[in-house]
Amino acid sequence: MDLILRNARLPDGQQGVDIGIRGDRIVAVQPALDATATEVIDVAGRLVSPPFVDAHFHMDATLSLGLPRLNESGTLLEGIALWGELKPDLTVEAIAKRAMAYCDMAVAQGLLSIRSHVDVCDDRLLAVDALLDVKQRVAPYLDLQLVAFPQDGLLRSPTAKRNLVRALDAGVDVVGGIPHFERTMADGAESIRWLCELAAERGLRVDMHCDESDDPLSRHIETLAAETVRTGLQGRVTGSHLTSMHSMDNYYVSKLLPLIAEAGVHAIANPLINITLQGRHDTYPKRRGMTRVPELMDAGVNVAFGHDCVMDPWYGMGSGDMLEVASMGLHVAQMTSATGVQRAFDAVTVNAARVLGLDDYGIAPGRRADLVVLQAADPFEAIRLKATRLAVIRSGKVIASTPEKQTALRLPGRPDHVSLEFTPGSLA
């Protein structure tokens, strides 16, 4: 074999597992693998996970923080206005340069698949050209899936329909939308119909920004689920954000959840962004604004967490760390039980991979050898520590590594070094 990882712990709790890799494939996952390899890495019982997957991002805007100015109010609407101010000065080169820099950060964090929305409301489609180029350049080490996103509204922006089709013709993968941003509820519903029919005709997936609002009457997810069934797109449609569900009446939600589940619509929450952008019209109590994650999961809906933004007009923080996203998600949703934390880890790995339709994903013989070795014992500790990515492996090759984190201590009578890793119960 070319590479063997010895003594790994897997996200499902299996321990003492060896992972054998030949070429770009995983060929064995078992204890005490009786084989030799060109390279052997002893991971010493630490967590080996399939890579992180970001199901919702905006790579055309990332790392543009401060251009042309900062978002003073921190609101969604000032962010959209700021993006509008930046658009005339955008160039293909600058967008691509920032996107490539972000992909480097992502790889360092073990984030090897990203679904990015790309704004198609600029008639020049510069961002589409830039990100299609970036998609090709990063393909050997990062899967970049692009969504044609009519940021200014499909019906509201006069050339959005034409531009969206042009973007798909150019090679953009997924049909996007923003029904709550259209002028009326009726226009929102009409945009969903048009977009689902387009996706069905072309055999594409759909991912709409849907009900990103605190308005409990923003119910486009209902239409999206119904249109998914009508156009036969079950399993291929995603509702992103769904923040209005946070504020909806419980009785209505009890009818809505089974509809979403039956339609096989995936849901994406963006915890870092939802907790900062929603609730802005509230005094106190202030709503959290994230969609009903555990309730959606209990209803059988596949839920992923996305990063949404990193250092752009909407959000100045972030570093491509999906463990930070998972951590915020479990805090906001109060998913602090052992099961809840495991579900939060799934939301940035396997659930997100399902949203993107990544067939080759996971730690099993025959799958592509994409793995992350974390300085943590299990998913719980990985999220707690935002654990160091000791090694990031793509197609069987180590493409990024970070030294183990350890701090030298200078305290009399205490150990020389301290790590934040800790086995529960070990000091009983």
Name residues contacting Fe ion, limited to 84-143 (CB under 5 A): none
Which of the ranges 4-12, 45-53, 304-312, 418-426 carries the binding residues for Fe ion, by CB under 5 A?
304-312
Buried b or exposed e, range 301-331, using 16+ CB within 10 angstroms: bbbbbbbbbbbbbbbeebebbbbbbbbbbbe
Task: In angstroms, give the least distance from the CB of 20 to Fe ion.
Answer: 39
Q: Which two three-digit tokens encode residue 59?
A: 């790579």
Which of the ranges 11-19, 131-139, 302-310, 323-331 carries the binding residues for Fe ion, by CB under 5 A?
302-310
404 catalytic, yes or no?
A: no
Question: Pairing between strand 52-57 and 48-49?
Answer: unpaired
In the bound state with Fe ion, the residue whose beta carbon lies nearer, of 308 and 324, is 308
Name residues contacting Fe ion, limited to 306-365 (CB under 5 A): 308
In the bound state with Fe ion, the residue whose beta carbon lies nearer, of 58 and 135, is 58
Nearest to 161 by CA among 198, 108, 134: 198
Distance in angstroms (rounded) separating the CA atoms of residues 275 and 287? 8
Task: In angstroms, give the least distance from the CB of 192 to Fe ion.
Answer: 17
Which of the ranges 6-14, 25-33, 128-136, 300-308 carries the binding residues for Fe ion, by CB under 5 A?
300-308
Site size with Fe ion, rule: CB under 5 A: 1
Question: Pairing between strand 371-374 and 303-305?
Answer: unpaired
Task: In angstroms, give the least distance from the CB of 95 to Fe ion.
Answer: 17
Distance in angstroms (rounded) separating the CA atoms of residues 379 and 330? 13
Name the residue number minimizing CB distance to Fe ion. Answer: 308
Q: What is the amino acid identity at position 171?
A: G
Task: In angstroms, give the least distance from the CB of 328 to Fe ion.
Answer: 15
In the bound state with Fe ion, the residue whose beta carbon lies nearer, of 54 and 370, is 54
In the bound state with Fe ion, the residue whose beta carbon lies nearer, of 54 and 308, is 308
**Helix (H) or strand (E) run with residue 78 in it:** helix 76-86
> Of 182, 212, 222, 227, which residue is the catalytic one?
212
In the bound state with Fe ion, the residue whose beta carbon lies nearer, of 58 and 367, is 58
Name residues contacting Fe ion, limited to 30-89 (CB under 5 A): none
In the bound state with Fe ion, the residue whose beta carbon lies nearer, of 90 and 299, is 90
Contacts of 392 by beta carbon, 8 Å cutoff, 6+ apart: 51, 107, 108, 110, 112, 371, 372, 373, 398, 399, 400, 401
Q: Is 108 exposed, middle or buried (0-12, 13-18, 19+ CB in 10 A)?
A: middle
Task: In angstroms, give the least distance from the CB of 270 to Fe ion.
Answer: 6
Which of the ranges 79-87, 177-185, 256-264, 305-313 carries the binding residues for Fe ion, by CB under 5 A?
305-313
Q: Which two three-digit tokens encode residue 52?
A: 């992180």
Distance in angstroms (rounded) separating the CA atoms of residues 362 and 367? 7
Task: In angstroms, give the least distance from the CB of 137 to Fe ion.
Answer: 23
List of residues contacting Fe ion (CB under 5 A): 308
User: What residues are labeled active site?
Assistant: 212
